[in-house]
Amino acid sequence: MNNLCRKSFSLVANKGVSDHWKERVLPRYSLTLFKESSLLFVNLLVVFAPFLLVFILSKPLDLEIPAFLSSITGLAATTIIALIYGFARARYVKK
């Protein structure tokens, strides 16, 4: 996305490129930028969906998950789980 933004700005600032060409290229750049932004939003939703689901389901079930996760014990537990996951992924998942 950064490269596309740089290309757009440099195209607009370039006096050697005709306005006709800019009118043809910039809509394509903007469509590509919109698609990439939408994909980024969808990826963020997928990443945060399990957390949101846990917090939403913890309310009616009267679970203290948010309080546990923000406690020292919860932070230590999530850190240990993340370390184990990172180690297992680095060791057993082939690229």
pLDDT tier at 72, thresholds 50, 70, 90? very high
The reply to whether 28 and 5 lie within a common domain is yes
Task: Kindly report, residue by residue over 35-71, the tens digit of the pLDDT.
Answer: 999 999 999 999 999 888 888 888 888 788 888 888 9
State the residue range of the domain holding 20: 1-60
Residues 32 and 52 in one domain: yes
Closest CA to 54 of 65, 69, 68, 62: 65
- Please identify which residue in the block is written with the tokens 């230590």: 76
Number of domains in the chain: 2
DSSP element (H, E) containing 95 = none
Q: How far is CA 12 from CA 1, 5, 9, 30, in A?
A: 17, 11, 5, 13
Pair 10, 23 in one domain: yes
- Verify that 24 and 42 share a domain, yes or no: yes
Q: Same domain for 14 and 48?
A: yes
- pLDDT per residue as tens digits for the range 14-37: 888 888 888 888 899 899 999 999
Element (H, E) at 47: helix 19-58
Domain match, 42 and 81 both: no
Q: Give the residue carrying structure tokens 């590509």.
A: 32
pLDDT value at residue 88: 92
